[in-house]
């Protein structure tokens, strides 16, 4: 699927690095098939030495050399990047944007008839355990989207959504790792409060959340059913769950996702 594809990155930050590591670890392409661009010579030197890939300070060179181009730059500079590359982008170039809040229409207005895919990955792609949501532009056929899906599958799981769901994706999975870190930190503090050593408590909390998440994914059971399997009548777990309900933890998490989604919508209107 990617055997004969040249892949380019405009923007060589952490997200680009995570994607490069994923596709190389999965052996989807060879290092010789990847080229990266960034404004920092130091960053390019790091990527070159780490992955043995080609690098360039010229973003137009990425377009000339690549079949698939990942726009892994900050949202506030993507307009300048598009203005620079638009004159030489062809209809056969696949453009993939991971810039939060930048719509496909915004890109399509400058890149007429170019196949565009918008992706919202989350930070666990750095360890190959991310979730990435893809929205397809009008020219992004299955032949276009399949190779891109394969790239993001190398760093986690992939779902395809309509673009009007992207703000909700941002609120849930994009911001979600932060919610999980808050939960782990709170559970670890609780462990210390009841007498556990700090590092032991962090390990217990983190592994518990990871194990619970894997049970949901691998059993395909509803989380409520899995919760009931742990909750014996009159036991310790129901006592704890009762407190969570009393304190409104469920409602707080729902409100957090709603607030993050609304903020994403506001940012997208700028």
Dist. CA 68–CA 166, nearest whole Å: 22
pLDDT at 1 over 80: no
What is the per-residue pLDDT for 3?
Answer: 85
pLDDT digits (tens, 9 = 90+) for 56-74: 999 999 999 999 999 999 9
pLDDT digits (tens, 9 = 90+) for 217-260: 999 999 999 999 999 999 999 999 999 999 999 999 999 999 99
Mean pLDDT of 101-120: 94
What is the per-residue pLDDT for 270?
Answer: 66
pLDDT at 100 over 90: no
Percent of the chain residues past pLDDT 90, beyond the cut: 93
Residue-averaged pLDDT of the chain:
96
């Amino acid at each position: 699927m990617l055997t004969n594809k040249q892949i380019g990155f405009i923007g060589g930050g952490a997200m680009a690095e995570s994607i490069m590591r994923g596709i190389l670890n999965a052996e989807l392409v060879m290092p010789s098939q990847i080229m990266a661009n960034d404004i920092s010579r130091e960053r390019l030197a790091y990527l070159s030495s780490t992955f043995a890939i080609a690098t360039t300070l010229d973003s137009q060179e990425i377009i000339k050399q690549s079949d698939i181009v990942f726009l892994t730059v900050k949202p506030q500079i993507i307009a300048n990047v598009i203005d620079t590359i638009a004159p030489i982008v062809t209809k056969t170039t696949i453009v993939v944007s991971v810039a939060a809040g930048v719509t496909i229409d915004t890109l399509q207005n400058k890149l007429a008839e170019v196949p565009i895919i918008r992706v919202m990955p989350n930070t666990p792609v750095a360890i190959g355990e991310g979730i990435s949501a893809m929205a397809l532009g009008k020219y992004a056929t299955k032949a276009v989207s399949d190779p891109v899906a394969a790239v993001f599958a190398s760093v986690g799981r992939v779902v395809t959504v309509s673009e009007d769901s992207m703000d909700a994706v941002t609120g849930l999975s994009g911001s979600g790792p932060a919610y999980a870190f808050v939960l782990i930190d709170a559970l670890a503090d609780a462990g210390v409060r009841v007498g556990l050593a700090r590092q032991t408590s962090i390990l217990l909390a983190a592994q518990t959340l990871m194990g619970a998440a894997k049970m949901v994914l691998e059993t395909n059971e509803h989380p409520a059913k899995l919760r009931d399997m742990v909750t014996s009548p009159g036991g310790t777990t129901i006592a704890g769950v009762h407190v969570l309900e009393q304190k409104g933890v469920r409602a707080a998490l729902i409100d957090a996702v709603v607030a993050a989604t609304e903020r994403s919508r506001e940012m997208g209107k700028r």
